[in-house]
Amino acid sequence: MNTGGFPEAIAVAYEGYIYAIGTYNWSDAPKNVTVSLQNLHIPLSAGYNARLDSYGSEQINLNDDILTVFNQPGESLRIIRLDKTG
């Protein structure tokens, strides 16, 4: 939750180890949005590839269990898809 009580991210599980994560930027200005997979209750036992699965050209990074969407526009939602590796 951010300081206004709104979620920074939500996750939805699909078949097996496929997840969709919605990241929110509730502010007016662009910012980096960072979330922990553990906080979203996504199992860390699997490795994942992450890709932007919605409109936008933001860079994303998944390092260990931390997902970051860089410079996400203000008042926006981005969908990131996680696929199990291997």
Domain boundaries, the chain: 9-84
- The pLDDT score that the predictor gives to residue 32 is 96
How confident is the model over 22-52, as pLDDT tens digits?
999 999 999 999 999 999 999 887 789 999 9
Contact 43, 57 (CB under 8 A): no
Q: Whole-prediction pTM value?
A: 0.86
Q: CB atoms < 10 A from the CB of 63, how many? A: 8
- For the segment 16-25, the average pLDDT, to the nearest whole number, is 88
- Measured CA to CA, the distance from residue 25 to residue 2 in angstroms comes to 10
How confident is the model over 45-74, as pLDDT tens digits?
778 999 998 877 889 999 989 999 999 999
